[in-house]
């Protein structure tokens, strides 16, 4: 019988997937335009990322928009990531002279870390900042609106001002000013999560989709599940099979789906496996954190250096790449339009 230990000898050593996922609906393009228009009146940008994918949740396009504006990078959802990421991320952010805080939007104490940075800036020059204007930006579903609601709760004891939801693309337009502190006066604006028009690396796209940044029906859920299984097998202490109630680990997604569907009763009439339902269950389990606190990006110094060296952050898109990205985004928009009109 394969145990978690010896299955490591049987698992794939690499995951090859060549098709990337593009998701850039119209509201994102509009959102970017609104951000650019508003940026001049903003004192601080809170750039929110996902602690489970500290590198893959960096959107180079946002980096370009934010430019030299005063910025605080917030790694949210730390409750779902292993605590060790903090040290590695801090190391890299220090190298890049970038302020960073780690938050769980459901924990008031960690949310206060953002407030403290904003208060310090506001107090540093009360004439320059009669009220501090903060814009919260980031990829979809990283928790921007949740952070705003939490800051408001902590700062002025008031209820929800921004809609939140488990699926990406909940906030579709920039909000008006939301007061989160009376004195010194601090206001936030919420923005729609934005993806890159074109994600060059297919594995990065899979990681973003797995953590909920891209709509599941746009990504191929069977590929997401297969990559998840590949990664789970490579975290040696993760006993996902026990959590799922199946006998032993496997590196074959078909086999996993077959066992799991029986376990959770996801069967159609006649006993046929309900693949979609089982895939959803597997992905939902991962996202809820039941397999443990896992980071999908490699954060050793060598990998991080390679990421930044190869990253589009370092090189603006060539004319050709830019055209390609715009065409991909246009195709995506037409597809969504056709879908919404039930044409396909
Ligand atoms: N576990 C955990 N869940 C979080 C955290 N922050 C937000 N969430 C959940 O993540 C999901 C997305 O949160 P939102 O605040 O809507 O994310 P957003 O970035 O505003 O998303 P868009 O508006 O779609 O761009 C929701 O289900 C939240 O409850 C966190 O720190 N930890
Ligand atoms: Mg939102």
Count Cβ neighbours within 10 Å for each residue of 18-27 and write b for 16 or more, e otherwise. eeebbbbbeb
Select the CATH number that applies to the domain covering 26-190 from these four: 3.40.50.2300, 3.40.50.300, 3.40.50.920, 3.40.710.10: 3.40.50.300
Instruction: Give residue 297's pLDDT band: very low, low, confident or very high (50, 70, 90).
Output: very high
d(CA 209, CA 168): 9
| Domain residue extents for the chain | 4-20+198-313, 26-190
Q: Ligand 1 pocket: which of 25, 105, 111 to mutate (most atoms <8 Å of CB)?
A: 105
Which residue did the predictor score with more confidence, 343 or 30? 30
Instruction: Give residue 322's pLDDT band: very low, low, confident or very high (50, 70, 90).
Output: low
Percentage of the chain lying above the pLDDT 90 cut:
79
d(CA 146, CA 289): 18
The pLDDT of 308-330, averaged and rounded, is 64
**Distance of CA 22 from the midpoint of ligand 2 (Å):** 20
Percentage of the chain lying above the pLDDT 70 cut:
89
pLDDT at 5 over 60: no
pLDDT 10s digits, 86-132: 999 999 999 989 999 999 999 999 999 999 999 999 999 999 999 99
156 is in an annotated binding site: no
pLDDT of the residue at 168: 97
pLDDT 10s digits, 67-83: 889 999 999 999 999 99
**Distance of CA 100 from the midpoint of ligand 2 (Å):** 20
144 is in an annotated binding site: yes
CATH number of the domain located at residue range(s) 4-20+198-313 in this protein: 1.10.1580.10
């Amino acid at each position: 019988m394969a145990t978690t230990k010896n299955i490591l000898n049987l698992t794939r050593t690499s995951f090859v997937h060549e098709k990337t996922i593009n998701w850039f609906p119209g509201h994102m393009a509009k959102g970017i335009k609104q951000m650019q228009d508003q940026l001049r009146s903003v004192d601080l940008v809170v750039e929110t990322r996902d602690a489970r994918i500290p590198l893959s949740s960096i959107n180079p396009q946002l980096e370009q928009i934010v430019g030299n504006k005063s910025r605080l990078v917030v790694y949210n959802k730390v409750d779902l990531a292993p605590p060790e990421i903090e040290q590695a991320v801090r190391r890299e952010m220090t190298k890049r002279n970038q302020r960073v805080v780690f938050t769980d939007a459901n924990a008031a104490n960690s949310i206060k870390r953002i407030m403290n940075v904003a208060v310090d800036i506001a107090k540093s020059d009360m004439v320059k900042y009669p009220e501090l204007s903060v814009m919260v930006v980031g990829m979809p579903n990283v928790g921007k609106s949740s952070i705003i609601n939490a800051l408001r709760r902590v700062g002025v004891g008031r209820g929800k001002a921004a809609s939140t939801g488990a699926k990406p693309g909940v906030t579709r337009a920039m909000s008006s000013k939301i007061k989160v502190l009376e004195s010194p006066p601090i206001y936030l604006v919420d923005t729609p999560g934005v993806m890159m028009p074109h994600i060059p690396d297919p594995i990065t796209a899979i990681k973003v989709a797995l953590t909920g940044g891209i709509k599941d029906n746009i990504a191929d859920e069977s590929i997401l599940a297969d990559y998840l299984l590949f990664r789970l097998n490579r975290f040696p202490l993760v006993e996902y099979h026990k959590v799922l109630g199946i006998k032993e680990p496997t590196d074959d997604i078909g086999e996993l789906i077959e066992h799991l569907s029986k376990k959770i009763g996801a069967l159609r009439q006649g006993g046929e496996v309900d693949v979609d339902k089982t895939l959803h269950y597997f992905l939902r389990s991962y996202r809820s954190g039941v397999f443990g606190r896992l980071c999908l990006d490699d954060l050793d110094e060598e990998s991080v250096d390679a990421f930044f060296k190869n990253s589009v952050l370092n090189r603006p898109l060539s004319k050709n790449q830019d055209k390609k990205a715009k065409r991909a985004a246009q195709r995506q928009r037409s597809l969504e339009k056709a879908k919404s009109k039930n044409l396909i």
